[in-house]
Amino acid sequence: ASIGLRREQVYIANVIKCRPHGNRDPLPMEIQNCRNWLERQIEIIRPKMIVALGRYSMAMFFPGKSISKIHGTAQKRDNVIYYAMYHPAAALHQQSLRRTIEEDMLKIPSLLAEAESIQEAEQQPQQLTMF
Domain ranges of the chain: 7-121
Residues 6+ apart with CB under 8 A from 107: 72, 74, 83
Angstrom distance (rounded) from CA 54 to CA 76: 19
| Tens-place pLDDT, residues 80-98 | 999 999 999 999 999 999 9
Would the pLDDT of 1 be above 60?
Answer: no
Percent of the chain with pLDDT over 70: 93
What does residue 65 show for φ and ψ, rounded to 5 degrees?
A: -100, 160
Would the pLDDT of 111 be above 60?
Answer: yes
Per-residue pLDDT at 118 = 76
pTM above 0.85, yes or no: no
DSSP per position, 18-67: SPPGGGPPPPHHHHHHHHHHHHHHHHHH--SEEEEESHHHHHHHSTT--H
Specify the CATH superfamily of domain 7-121: Uracil-DNA glycosylase-like domain (3.40.470.10)
| Tens-place pLDDT, residues 7-49 | 888 999 999 999 888 889 999 999 999 999 999 999 999 999 9
Would the pLDDT of 101 be above 70?
Answer: yes
DSSP state of 91: H
Angstrom distance (rounded) from CA 16 to CA 31: 6
- Positive or negative: CA dihedral 55, 45, 105, 9: negative
